[in-house]
Amino acid sequence: MKNILREARTASGLSQGALAERMDVTRQTINAVEADKYDPSLPLAYKLAAFFQMPVEDLFQNPFKS
């Protein structure tokens, strides 16, 4: 799922490891989500959106919307 997680994270000055710790996931998970290699679970997507204070669909592009 395409996303702007990497941009949001770097804008916040956080490393992947630091964000992972705050989200209670591994750094590999953050890396895979950023690289569009793995879709986040719904709770993680909402948690990330809440953390960056933006709607989920701003952070993750809805692939089913044209």
Number of residues near other proteins (by CB under 8 A):
16
Cβ-based nearer residue to other proteins, 6 or 65: 6
Tell me the C-alpha distance between 21 and 30, whole Å. Answer: 10
Task: Quote the least distance from Cβ 23 to other proteins, whole Å.
Answer: 8
Sign of torsion over alpha carbons 10, 54, 3, 27? positive
Residues 6+ apart with CB under 8 A from 4: 58, 59
- Binders of other proteins among 1-60, rule CB under 8 A? 17-18, 20-21, 24-29, 32, 38, 40-41, 43-44
Q: For binding to other proteins (CB under 8 A), which residues are involved?
A: 17-18, 20-21, 24-29, 32, 38, 40-41, 43-44
